[in-house]
Structure 1
Amino acid sequence: MPDLSSIIKAYDVRGVVPDEWDEATSRAIGAAFAEFVRTDSGTTSVVTAHDMRDSSIPLSRAFAEGVISRGVDVVEAGLGSTDMLYFAAGSLDMPGAMFTASHNPAQYNGIKLCRAGAAPIGQDSGLATIREWAERDSYDREPERVGTVSQRDVLAEYAAHLHGLVDLSNVRPLKVVVDAGNGMGGHTVPVVLAGLPLEVVPMYFELDGSFPNHEANPLDPKNLVDLQAAVPEHGADIGLAFDGDADRVFVVDEKGDPVSPSAVTALVAVRELAKGHGTTIIHNLITSRAVPEIVREHGGEPVRTRVGHSFIKAEMARTNAVFGGEHSAHYYFRDFWRADTGMLAAMHVLAALGEQSRPLSELTAAYSRYAASGEINSTVADAAASTAQVRDTFAGQDGVTVDELDGLTIELPDGSWFNLRASNTEPLLRLNVEAPDETRMAELRDQILGMVRA
């Protein structure tokens, strides 16, 4: 078995098929995963699901062969979104494996692994061990039996669970344009939003892992252009864009303007706090400063974390937080096994819009207080040296706060701040800037980019 370090990342498996991994690799990872969860918790069954990519079915079947070779049973949930797999892992109390490369191009595929109850598995919580065992591909123990493979369709159960968390049956009629990007939203949205007072205008619902219309990555503004045009064209109240595995959602208002994920985080946080079942809200350090302000104004306790789902989920478990949000449009719910689900976040926004009469742009204006740059990437030869230069420029100035929880965060006396983080996988620095107004944001953004790109 080859070195798997190039495809087993910090949080998941990801790589080009078949150049970087293939069915034999998947079979070995399946065996290692089965042995890991059996040793870790005595597990005798795991659940799998897969997206619409051409390689997903053969890779998931090879993985199942590896699992059953170690005496562990496989329940195949079949075609689904990543949050549907998390639902299955939570409701069935089984470890899970989702075959998807999310928003990556067609030649990629991957596996997102979790423990029973949708608890995350990352490098420090099992993934390094799974990689080591898969590379070795041999075991001292002989299993007592070969496992079995069965099928279970959980899509209707998943939809019912979501409906139990957000009731949309009595909202005012809404026209909703949904861009599924030829990804898994095209499979789940028709079931979850059926029978509600919603007129859904579908865009790119055909499941096609070659992504013929645009990449299924709404974080890149160019992939929102079609939706932004379609919403006002159809006279719709809202637009929703899902990524390839539909665990993230991006929102567009009735004018075709994007609603920032920070505003969505604040809106959903207020709704979760109103339930009275908890006060802690998690947000990563790149979300708008409006998020902790609004959380406090509604009686909540904001907790700031590093970027990344493993950090968010760990803090949610530690604090028993009711909700967590990230700038990348991942939204996490205690009522959903602390897992991220774009669909549930979308339903909260639809409910907030449909329970009152104002248009979405007016509704979300209250949650958008500052001017933000969005994430800007710069290719650099030496990320550490560039970051140090920026730090030295600002540190020591009166009223400046320096924070290195995750990369470099500088807070300035006028209320502006920025974060500069190195990519874990590429020679990139990622910059996020926020300021009281657009002029100041642009000035600070250009100043930092000038230093980083010099």
Structure 2
Amino acid sequence: MDLSCFKAYDLRGRVPDQLNPKLAEHIGRAYVEVTGAKKIIVGYDIRLSSREISEALCSGLMAAGADVYDIGLCGTEMVYFATSHYDMDGGIMVTASHNPRDHNGMKMVGPESRPISSDNGLNDIRDRVLEPFADAHDQGRYQTLETMSAYIDHLLGYINGADLKPLKLVVNAGNGGAGLVIDELEVHLPFEFLKVHHNPDGHFPNGVPNPILEENRAATADAVKASGAAMGIAWDGDYDRCFFFDENGRFIEGYYIVGLLADQFLRKTGPGKVIHDPRLIWNTLDLVAAAGGVAVESKTGHAFIKQRMRDEDAVYGGEMSAHHYFRDFAYCDSGMIPWLLVAERLCQAGCTLSSLIDARIEAYPASGEINRTIADPATVIAAIEAKYGADAKSVSHVDGVSVEYDDWRFNLRMSNTEPVVRLNVESRGDIPLMREKTDELLVEMERLNAL
């Protein structure tokens, strides 16, 4: 079997050559044998191949002796929620997130929705797939489980309904699964939703839902500007990430949303810990400290963030890549909780989203993440550190290398999932300096790459 669909954090590959029902059935058997799980949540996204792959996966799980609780068409975070909420032994979501439409995959968790990745079981499952299987003496049972009602109730628990006022919001599900949840939330909220690319459609008639790509942002931005909406929200296909547009249709970098959510959450909970990634940090540090919280830096990536949140009992964690994690959501990421919190903040403050964000961008302008393909990333990163680190105020290796001066800093790291190097630069209130240093670093990276 071709096992190239097994990645560092999950499974993703083309259907049917890299992932197909036969392989899915074997993965189900291997999952049970490796984890020992007896009660497992299974859900699937809107991709055309997802139901068939899910059915084969369920067959394998039951053949190995596990009971399957099928929650049906859903988003990744609903599998996280159901696994934790119903005290299951594990959960598997059939999804390829924002990969091309002919791809599919799986995201796996264990008890309490703890992630299963390459360093804690995923490689063992991959290796077990290749060995022969025998059916369990007692076959597992299959049943469906209605999860949406409890999930909606949980989401609404993050906001104070008495503070909410009528708002006009543009919502773009990208023909993924988010629209189904918006329809359920709509009856509980005083908001007017203008729905763009709303209906689930695995053909992805408007392109694969991935709002981090600039070419996928126009539909949301244009709808905000045309309607005079208070903000726009767009999701990826399995809606574990959400992206924001202000009332002018401007896309808001995820870095500034992390600070906004940290501030909003600490206002609710009082002093607590906030986990953040090391790529861009100054705005987050400033806002967390002002709200009486403690900021804790973690290596980038959902498995690292979730573990650090558990270790620190953090109330919230955020990555600039638009993943937002919540202690009361089993320390998992959600694409629904963030926009509810931001909408609540707009209602409470009686101001625009741009007015909340502009001051933060002015205080800590950032380059945004810039990716470059580099032949020998480790050598280039080491050379950059040698050149810039000598005179720096501090050098950190939490993830890649972070070099800090009094008035600017940068982080340079290898991607965990792609053959690229990622650069982020920020300054203290000095846009020309940030741009100058960004250009300088990019030129130096190109020079080193050509050697």
Query: Does 2:412 correspond to 1:396?
Result: no
> Partner residue of 2:373?
379
Q: Report the alpha carbon displacement of residue 367 of structure 1 after superposing the two structures with TM.
A: 4.0
The aligned amino acid for 1:376 is I
- C-alpha distance in 1 between matches for 2:20 and 2:206: 27
Shift in Å, 1:380: 1.6
* 8 Å Cα contact 1:407-1:421 kept in structure 2: yes
Distance 1:277 1:84 in 2: 27
Partner AA of 1:422 in structure 2: M
Pair 1:181-2:181 in alignment: no
Contact 2:280 2:424 in 1 (8 A): no
Secondary structure of the equivalent of 1:374? coil
Corresponding residue number in structure 1 for 2:34: 36
The aligned residue for residue 73 of structure 1 is: 67
Aligned residue-pair number? 444
Aligned counterpart in structure 1 of residue 419 of structure 2, from 417, 427, 439 = 427
Counterpart selection for 2:110 from 104, 109, 115 = 115
Which of residues 324, 336, 354 is equivalent to 1:361?
354
Q: Partners in 2 of 1:256 and 1:123 — Cα distance? A: 39
1:276 is displaced (CA, Å) by 3.4
Q: Tell me how far apart the structure 2 counterparts of residues 400 and 271 of structure 1 sit (CA, whole Å).
A: 31
Amino acid across the alignment from 2:247? E
Q: C-alpha deviations, 1:191-233, integer Å up to 9, x for none? A: 1233311000000012122322133111222211221111011
Q: Deviations over 1:386-439 (max 9, x none)?
A: 212212221212x4422222112111232x111111123433111111123221
Deviation of the 1:16 alpha carbon: 1.0
SS at match of 2:56: helix
Shift of 1:452: 1.6
Per-residue Cα deviation, 1:41-99 (whole angstroms, up to 9, x for no partner):
xx421011110001100111100000000111111100001111111111111111001
Contact 1:294 / 1:367 at 8 angstroms: preserved in 2? no
Deviations 1:280-327 (A, max 9, x none): 110010133110121111111100011000110001110100000001
User: Aligned equivalents of 2:75 and 2:350: distance in 1?
Assistant: 32
Deviation sequence 1:124-148 (CA, Å, 0-9, x none): 1211211121122436xx6231111
Q: CA 1:200/1:306 → structure 2, altered by over 3 Å: closer, same or farther? A: same
Match for 1:338 among 331, 334, 356?
331
Paired residues of 1:81 and 1:188 also in contact (CA < 8 A) = no
TM-align CA RMSD: 1.6
Are 2:19 and 2:105, in contact at CA under 8 Å, matched by a contact in 1?
no
CA distance in 1, matches of 2:426, 2:328: 31
In structure 1, runs of 5+ residues without a counterpart are: none
CA contact (8 A) 1:52 1:208 kept: yes
Q: Which residues of structure 2 form unaligned runs of 5+? A: none
Which residue number corresponds to residue 451 of structure 1? 444
Shift in Å, 1:347: 0.5
- Matching residue of 1:61: 55
> 3-state DSSP class of the match of 1:136?
coil
| Contact 1:166/1:348 (8 A) holds in 2 | yes
C-alpha separation in 1, matches of 2:387 and 2:378: 14
- 1:71, 1:143 within 8 Å by CA — same for their partners in 2? yes
Counterparts of 2:132 and 2:106 in 1: how far apart (Å)?
A: 18
Q: Percent identity?
A: 38
Deviation for aligned residue 1:277: 5.8
Which moves more between the two structures, 385-394 or 23-32? 385-394
| Rounded Cα–Cα distance in structure 1 between residues aligned with 2:162 and 2:127 | 49
**What SS does the aligned partner of 1:27 have?**
helix
TM-score by length of 2: 0.95
Cα 1:349–1:320 change in 2 (3 A) is same
Could you say which residue in structure 2 is the equivalent of 1:253? 246
Contact 2:415–2:421 under 8 Å retained in 1: yes
Structure 1 Cα separation of the partners of residues 60 and 270 of structure 2: 42
1:290 matches 2:279:
no
CA distance in 2, matches of 1:439, 1:225: 27
| Superposed displacement of residue 170, structure 1 | 4.1
Runs of 4+ deviating beyond 4 Å: none
Q: For 2:433 and 2:225, how far apart are their aligned partners in 1? A: 31
1:170 and 1:197 in contact (8 A); partners too: no
Tell me by how many angstroms 1:169 deviates: 5.3
Report the alpha carbon displacement of residue 278 of structure 1 after superposing the two structures with TM: 5.2
Q: Does 1:25 align with 2:23?
A: yes
What residue identity is the alignment partner of 1:52?
A: I
Q: Does 2:130 match 1:135?
A: yes
Name the amino acid aligned to 2:86: L
Query: Separation in 2 of the partners of 1:204 and 1:367?
Result: 31
For 1:355, what is the secondary structure of its paired residue?
helix
Give the structure 2 partner of residue 88 of structure 1: 82
Mapped partners of 1:102, 1:421: distance in 2: 23
**Which residue of 2 is the match for residue 12 of structure 1?**
10
Give 3-state SS (helix, strand or coil) of 1:109's partner: strand
Deviation at 1:3, TM superposition (A): 4.9
Cα offset, 1:23, TM superposition: 0.8
Amino acid at match of 1:44: K
1:277–1:322 Cα contact (<8 Å) kept = no
Which of 292, 311, 327 is the equivalent residue of 1:318? Answer: 311
CA contact (8 A) 2:271 2:292 kept: no
Partner of 1:265: 258
Q: 2:276·2:297 contact (CA, 8 Å) conserved in 1?
A: yes
Q: Is the 8 A contact 1:28 1:137 kept in 2?
A: no
Distance 1:168 1:213, change over 3 A: farther
Of stretches 430-439 and 328-337 in structure 1, the one that deviates more from structure 2 is: 430-439
Change (3 A) 1:192 1:116: farther
Q: Distance in 1 between matches of 2:302 and 2:131?
A: 29
Deviation at 1:444, TM superposition (A): 1.0
